[in-house]
Structure 1
């Protein structure tokens, strides 16, 4: 039987799309395909609360986006353990690995991304892990229980969140980062400095400018990380070296790709009636100077899902133009980011970093392009509103904490 909408991928993007369609009153058939055996779940807790929770069914139940009954009540055909083998755009159909063929009126690729593995000697050893899925998290949690020495390769969000979690569990934690500072591609230098200091105060050792060359094992189990500048003993190694898009299905089907599946402002791909959303979608973003980028965040997944739901439901005017925003909880540090500050020319600090509550405003010339906030949720909310409105407050005004950001909205 032909489905009106087939969604490949049951992460945040795919599930949000199915729910958004139903919330709009879409009455057509929806098939939601997942290659995982688990019900769709929240991913952010995997690096934090899930790691410290007891190894029981309750900790996993709390992760669920919804119960199995909820999907049935909404008329969403959720098919777990159903990986797709091929897509055939010309016939508006796809084939599952089981051999079953499904026809569609609209196909949405929400295939996400996977953790990047390092092609280094010893990468196959037991105890060298990456975190992306619930199954990964189960394995890491189990190993953490018996691993006194943890080495995290990569000083990005996932790596630092796991480092903070391991430290709270009393582990000896070392973070190895190739760049000159942690989170170099994502936040201002002042933010990197502050977060590094906070982690160091919790006993986490951070080595920057450190290039890992291999993993050494003993009896098939990792026992050390080797680098150009030293060697670090390890019972558990967690590699947080970024992610790469799951675009192989689209590529094999002849759909245009380039560091992700290429889409327009309605999230349409080069194939008729085929869309892509979430971590796998490469789109032109106005907050990145219209450069084609991928955004790996729940906010982005949800926003793009809403756009596609509107388009499928008949709104030809729907476009994706949301301000990007992100967050990362690292122990006592709540880091929130709005906009994209990668091509900043100037930074302005609002508040006192020593207090543990401050924000850094990124400017390109006199244009506000992004804001990083540490334990300042109100600053974050106001910053998103400023960016959405296209407002660029004077730098001196922003730095003056006696001026409420709300007053700058006009």
Structure 2
């Protein structure tokens, strides 16, 4: 029996690890398009980019691990198609590999901005680290998580940094005005120029031209304008695709022998009662093992809450939860907003849908328990640091 995993990132690497830990003794092949061993992506815009992490710390496993666990690792290899009738994947060199179960973990690709660098791969991170210098003028197009993390890195190098964003505040669409203002103030306090409410229309000749007519001089331009899930392989194979690959709570696709994990998985989430697709590290880390267990026929269900984290200047943050599209949440803050040491909660219908702890640690579990409880909470008690979070979950 042969299990094949397409996608050499964190989701794929954790899936093959789980297959072996669960006792699967058949053949396992992991295929990745990049030449490197499977690695984690958060360090690319955090510790590795800043020079705080060792270069080899990004890898999920050593090369020896794959050999020791009898996993055939094929890096630098592209899968060009899936023959569902023959149960085989076709490779770029014309060969094919048969499978009994197949996992797709093909990740995402950054939306391109001609003339700008992107940050998605290990090579991209090295390229940006080499390009940003103390005397350089850096323009970052995109005021999301990646853009702001790269801005913090570039300022740590001493570069002059301008961030361009389409909203009035960075992260406004994700966090709302009050909490987004915290990030705007943080970056301005650290010397970042924010040019908001517009977008780039052209990059070249040492400048970035914006839709509002401004021309920003730039030695380095970096785009962080989002990613697109890599679903062409699934779509061409006739699998159900809609904002990712549609999977059930077991991460099975419309073909019961094919599963999907990571960025591409649009999951029918049993707890949230909604389809969600999450592009952050934790989704890759957690969907890979669940998909592997489902491939083995175990009775599993993916009900993890979305989670992500960021480090920018002296701000560290964790966010857990999910807010349904179209919801208008009430924001409740516990702690010192101006001092950037607080917990923010987003309430929908009186229930905590998401929570974010900023420079306050070891509160993730009670925040998650509060979300999972579905309890209606008193906003005043929620805002009171003297009330234990565990006392609010019922």
- Return the TM-score normalized by structure 1: 0.91
Question: How far apart in 2 are the matches of 1:360 and 1:331?
Answer: 19
Give the counterpart of 1:20 among 14, 18, 21. Answer: 18
Which residue does 1:206 correspond to in 2?
194
Say if 1:344 and 1:27 are closer, same or farther in 2 by CA, change over 3 A. farther
Which residue does 1:336 correspond to in 2?
318
Q: Deviations over 1:254-293 (max 9, x none)?
A: 1111121111111111123001111011123356551x33
Which residue does 2:260 correspond to in 1?
276
Which residue does 2:79 correspond to in 1?
84
8 Å CA contact 2:246, 2:253 repeated in 1? yes
Report the secondary structure of 1:305's partner residue.
Answer: helix
Question: How far apart in 1 are the matches of 2:369 and 2:95?
Answer: 47
Which residue does 1:129 correspond to in 2?
117
Which residue does 1:10 correspond to in 2?
8
Question: How far apart in 2 are the matches of 1:361 and 1:129?
Answer: 35
Which residue does 2:293 correspond to in 1?
310
Say if 1:78 and 1:186 are closer, same or farther in 2 by CA, change over 3 A. same
Unaligned runs of 5+ in 1: none
Q: How many residues align?
A: 392
Report the secondary structure of 1:355's partner residue.
Answer: coil
8 Å CA contact 1:260, 1:281 repeated in 2? yes
Which residue does 1:296 correspond to in 2?
279
Which residue does 2:362 correspond to in 1?
378
Which residue does 2:184 correspond to in 1?
196
Q: Deviations over 1:4-47 (max 9, x none)?
A: 21000011111111111112222221100011101111211111
Matches within 5 A, 1:216-231: 216-217=204-205, 222-231=206-215
Report the secondary structure of 2:130's partner residue.
Answer: helix
The reply to whether residue 349 of structure 1 matches residue 349 of structure 2 is no
Question: How far apart in 2 are the matches of 1:251 and 1:136?
Answer: 27
The reply to whether residue 36 of structure 1 matches residue 19 of structure 2 is no
8 Å CA contact 2:257, 2:295 repeated in 1? no
Question: How far apart in 2 are the matches of 1:401 and 1:114?
Answer: 42
Question: How far apart in 2 are the matches of 1:136 and 1:355?
Answer: 34
8 Å CA contact 2:90, 2:96 repeated in 1? yes
Question: How far apart in 2 are the matches of 1:196 and 1:289?
Answer: 33
Give the counterpart of 1:361 among 322, 345, 350. Answer: 345
| CA-CA distance at 1:63 after TM superposition | 1.8
Matches within 5 A, 1:66-105: 66-105=61-100
| CA-CA distance at 1:408 after TM superposition | 3.0
Q: Which moved more, 1:376-385 or 1:231-240?
A: 376-385
| CA-CA distance at 1:331 after TM superposition | 1.9
- Return the TM-score normalized by structure 2: 0.94
Question: How far apart in 2 are the matches of 1:272 and 1:341?
Answer: 30
Say if 1:288 and 1:203 are closer, same or farther in 2 by CA, change over 3 A. farther
| CA-CA distance at 1:147 after TM superposition | 6.2
Question: How far apart in 1 are the matches of 2:170 and 2:367?
Answer: 23
8 Å CA contact 2:262, 2:284 repeated in 1? yes
Question: How far apart in 2 are the matches of 1:177 and 1:271?
Answer: 40
The reply to whether residue 252 of structure 1 matches residue 239 of structure 2 is no
Q: What's the Cα RMSD here?
A: 1.8
The reply to whether residue 106 of structure 1 matches residue 90 of structure 2 is no
Unaligned runs of 5+ in 2: none
8 Å CA contact 1:359, 1:373 repeated in 2? yes
